[in-house]
């Protein structure tokens, strides 16, 4: 898909050429002066007249009239060079690629060095380019009758770059594209309807990853869970016609199985709320309640492709939460794998129950550091909106690594407080060790605090993606629907991990 050329051959035939413009003010120099020369200086005049804009995220299309090989020039405004960020450049690429995709062009060239700046080098720009290409052109086709018209997508990108390390640029392009495609895989899983993605289907998907990337695979069936005492996951599954699955993928990137990162993803394939049933409006969209599992599976795809020198165990508890004569009820008391008993006050607080057994099982597999990812609470949306993922932790040093990865990935995280009195609320029950729903006050904190009771002393970060797993609007990096949030954060966390 990507070809790197050190020669500024603007005469090679392409459907378009993408050029970045910083507002500093705009002056065509170097290779851009050569490009302007083909147009007898008219590009400079178009900038002066405002027909080509360098304003941030601006897009300007220019017909080339056969003066160069490309049929169109696409200028992407990048704003002030001093304010440029990796995420801003990635969004600019996304805007350009969405425009190219809309025009149904299949071949394009990109003048890479025009996107570099004080804070953005050629490798950053290359990574941003390829990641944006994957993310921005993603589509979930759904189940409508297909058109007979052949689909046209961007198939070839020629990256023009002045002399530098060509192999490093190729490597950066590969890594960025892997991060983007891993995120897209998670998006597709979340977009699938619940009848098309059961716990069994999710286990089969994990099996396909294990076969492709040589992961160690373990899938616990209901009988296995009964032997191990996974009463929390089994309770949530009681009302379902679908069998539960505890899915484990292990990647060993070091000689010894130590300093193991445990990635735990909530895999509720559909959530009715159980007997604490959701409203008719609130139940729509609950196919996305396995967003945490999708994030973990997407991250494992990236890990499988890039093979970092780290040890990772991914654990996914999967079931739906349904209503039947055998479903668990408010006032039930269940016993988790850890041995801790739980008074059920709300069957719609089921995610924290399945994660309780999953966190315990991740520790059983030797996880020394834990991150759980879950569409856990509506409370996090009330607190932080739909652009920021909520977090809790029992270890600030470990959280700092997660935070750094999230910042680099462009997936903002905000740490919520967790104090001793919050833990006491979760432990408040007259008949059990814990209760699963202490009340609406501090809802997002209570959900995470419950999971923390099972992490115990193991360094742990909880990521509540209820607000960020989906979006209701198109962005420069993808359509409305599933976002694949936290795939890149988790993958970067593993890649940059320091024990």
Q: What is the pLDDT of residue 26?
A: 75
Task: Report the greatest alpha carbon distance in the chain.
Answer: 84
Contact 337, 224 (CB under 8 A): no
**Residues 309 and 389 occupy one common structural domain:** yes
Contact 185, 297 (CB under 8 A): yes
Query: What total of structural domains would you count in the chain?
Result: 2
Is the pLDDT at 187 greater than 80? The verdict is yes
Neighbouring-strand partners of residue 343 = 333, 435
Burial of 83 per CB tally in 10 Å (0-12, 13-18, 19+): middle
Share of the chain above pLDDT 90, in %: 89
pLDDT tens per residue, range 383-436: 999 999 999 999 999 999 999 999 999 999 999 999 999 999 999 999 999 999
**Residues 71 and 205 occupy one common structural domain:** no
Q: What is the pLDDT of residue 463?
A: 98
Is the pLDDT at 498 greater than 70? The verdict is yes
Task: Write down the mean pLDDT value for the chain.
Answer: 95
Q: Residue 495's pLDDT band (boundaries 50, 70, 90)?
A: very high
Average pLDDT over residues 132-143: 95
Residue 173 lies in a domain: no
Q: Give the domain CATH number at 118.
A: 3.40.220.10
Q: What is the pLDDT of residue 195?
A: 97
In sequence order, what are the residues at sequence separation of 6 or more whose Cβ sits closer than 8 angstroms to the Cβ of residue 199?
242, 243, 244, 245, 267, 269, 318, 319, 320
**Residues 121 and 195 occupy one common structural domain:** no
Domain boundary among 161, 191, 224: 161
Q: What is the pLDDT of residue 303?
A: 98
Residue 174 lies in a domain: no
Among 2-6, 129-133, 326-330, which stretch is predicted with the lowest mean pLDDT? 2-6
**Residues 311 and 421 occupy one common structural domain:** yes
**Residues 61 and 190 occupy one common structural domain:** no
**Residues 319 and 193 occupy one common structural domain:** yes
**Residues 381 and 330 occupy one common structural domain:** yes
Is the pLDDT at 208 greater than 70? The verdict is yes
Q: Residue 5's pLDDT band (boundaries 50, 70, 90)?
A: confident
Residue 263 lies in a domain: yes
**Residues 73 and 115 occupy one common structural domain:** yes
Q: Give the domain CATH number at 270.
A: 3.40.630.10
Average pLDDT over residues 266-273: 98
Residue 167 lies in a domain: no
Q: What is the pLDDT of residue 227?
A: 98
Q: Residue 112's pLDDT band (boundaries 50, 70, 90)?
A: very high
Of these residues, 352, 363, 423, 488, which one is catalytic? 352
**Residues 84 and 196 occupy one common structural domain:** no
Q: State yes or no: is 352 an active-site residue.
A: yes
**Residues 268 and 215 occupy one common structural domain:** yes
Residue 64 lies in a domain: yes
pLDDT tens per residue, range 454-488: 999 999 999 999 999 999 999 999 999 999 999 99
Is the pLDDT at 118 greater than 90? The verdict is no
Is the pLDDT at 7 greater than 90? The verdict is no
Contact 55, 22 (CB under 8 A): no
Residue 170 lies in a domain: no
Average pLDDT over residues 292-319: 98
Q: What is the pLDDT of residue 404?
A: 98
Is the pLDDT at 31 greater than 90? The verdict is no
Q: What is the pLDDT of residue 163?
A: 67
Q: How far from 148 is each of 145, 151, 472, CA to CA, in Å?
A: 10, 9, 29
Q: What is the pLDDT of residue 452?
A: 98
Is the pLDDT at 174 greater than 90? The verdict is yes
Residue 483 lies in a domain: yes
Share of the chain above pLDDT 70, in %: 99
Most confident option among 98-107, 149-158, 451-460: 451-460
Is the pLDDT at 345 greater than 90? The verdict is yes
Domain boundary among 105, 128, 161: 161
Q: State yes or no: is 278 an active-site residue.
A: yes
Is the pLDDT at 6 greater than 80? The verdict is no
**Residues 77 and 218 occupy one common structural domain:** no
Of these residues, 71, 278, 425, 427, which one is catalytic? 278
**Residues 75 and 122 occupy one common structural domain:** yes
Range of the domain at 77: 2-147+154-161
Residue 213 lies in a domain: yes
Q: What is the pLDDT of residue 386?
A: 97
Domain boundary among 128, 161, 194: 161
Is the pLDDT at 206 greater than 70? The verdict is yes
Among 27-41, 188-202, 237-251, which stretch is predicted with the lowest mean pLDDT? 27-41
């Amino acid at each position: 898909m990507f070809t790197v050329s050190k020669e500024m051959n603007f005469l090679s035939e392409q459907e378009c050429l993408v050029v970045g413009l910083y507002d500093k003010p705009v002056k065509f120099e170097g290779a851009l002066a050569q490009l302007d020369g083909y147009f007898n200086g008219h590009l400079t005049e178009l900038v002066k007249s405002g027909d080509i804009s360098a304003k941030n995220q601006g897009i300007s299309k220019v017909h080339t009239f056969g003066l160069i090989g490309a049929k169109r020039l696409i200028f992407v405004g990048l704003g002030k060079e001093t304010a440029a960020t990796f995420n801003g450049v990635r969004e600019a690429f996304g805007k350009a690629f969405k425009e190219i995709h809309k025009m149904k062009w299949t071949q394009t060239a990109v003048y890479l060095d025009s996107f570099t700046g004080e804070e953005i080098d050629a490798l950053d720009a290359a990574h941003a380019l390829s990641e944006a290409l994957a993310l921005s052109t993603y589509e979930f086709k759904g189940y409508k009758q297909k058109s007979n018209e052949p689909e046209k997508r961007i198939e070839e990108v020629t990256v023009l770059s002045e002399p530098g390390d060509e192999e490093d640029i190729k490597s950066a392009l590969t890594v960025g594209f892997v991060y983007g495609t891993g995120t897209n895989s998670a998006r597709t899983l979340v977009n699938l309807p619940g009848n098309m993605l059961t716990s069994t289907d999710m286990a089969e998907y994990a099996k396909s990853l294990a076969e492709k990337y040589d992961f160690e695979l373990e899938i616990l069936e209901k009988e296995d869970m009964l032997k191990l005492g996974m009463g929390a996951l089994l309770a949530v599954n009681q009302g379902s016609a679908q069998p539960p699955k505890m899915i484990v993928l292990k990647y060993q990137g070091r000689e010894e199985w130590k300093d193991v990162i445990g990635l735990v993803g909530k895999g509720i394939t559909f959530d009715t709320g159980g007997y604490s049933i959701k409203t008719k409006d609130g139940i729509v969209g609950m196919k996305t309640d396995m967003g945490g599992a999708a994030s973990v599976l997407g991250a494992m795809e990236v890990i499988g492709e890039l093979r970092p020198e780290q040890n990772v165990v991914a654990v996914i508890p999967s079931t739906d939460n349904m209503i039947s004569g055998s479903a668990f009820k408010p006032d039930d008391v269940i016993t988790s794998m850890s041995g801790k008993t739980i008074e059920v006050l709300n069957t719609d607080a089921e995610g924290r129950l399945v994660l309780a057994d999953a966190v315990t099982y991740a520790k059983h597999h030797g996880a020394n550091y834990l991150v759980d990812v879950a569409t856990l609470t509506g409370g996090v949306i009330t607190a932080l909106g739909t652009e920021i993922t909520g977090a809790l932790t029992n270890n600030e040093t470990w959280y700092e690594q997660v935070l750094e990865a999230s910042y680099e990935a462009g997936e903002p995280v905000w740490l919520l407080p967790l104090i001793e009195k919050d833990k006491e609320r979760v432990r408040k029950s007259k008949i059990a060790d814990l209760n699963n729903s202490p009340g609406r006050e501090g809802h997002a904190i209570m959900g995470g605090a419950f999971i923390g009771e099972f992490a115990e002393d193991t360094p742990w970060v909880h990521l509540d993606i209820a607000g960020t797993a989906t979006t209701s609007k198109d962005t420069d990096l993808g359509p409305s629907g599933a976002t694949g949030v936290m795939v890149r954060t988790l993958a970067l966390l593993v890649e940059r991990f320091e024990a």
